[in-house]
Structure 1
Amino acid sequence: MYGGPQPTEEQKKLQEQYAYDTLKFAGLVAGALWVN
């Protein structure tokens, strides 16, 4: 996909956790806006 070193397993885990937290936060914000 792109040049450069492959991310390590630890980095992959961090990226997945960050993406999950971001989606969860976005969902909470969307839910709050929807209720209001």
Structure 2
Amino acid sequence: MIETTRDSRVRHAIRKAHQERALAFANIVGRIFTIR
């Protein structure tokens, strides 16, 4: 029970961090394309 909750929590945190990183990368790429 405790293992499953911790695993799901870690998985959710990793997914959130990955989404934020992908969003920041998309913003940087968009800025580069906008400049050019």
Q: Shorter-normalised TM-score: what interval?
A: 0.7 to 0.9
State the identity as a percent: 13
Query: Aligned equivalents of 1:31 and 1:19: distance in 2?
Result: 18
* Alignment root-mean-square deviation, CA: 1.2
Taking structure 1 as the reference length, the TM-score comes to: 0.78
Runs of 4+ in 1 over 3 A off after TM superposition: none
Structure 2: stretches of 5+ with no match in the other structure: 1-6
Structure 1: stretches of 5+ with no match in the other structure: 1-6
Paired residues in the alignment total 30
Taking structure 2 as the reference length, the TM-score comes to: 0.78
Displacement of 1:14 after TM fit?
A: 0.1
| 1:17 partner amino acid | A
Which structure: larger Rg?
2
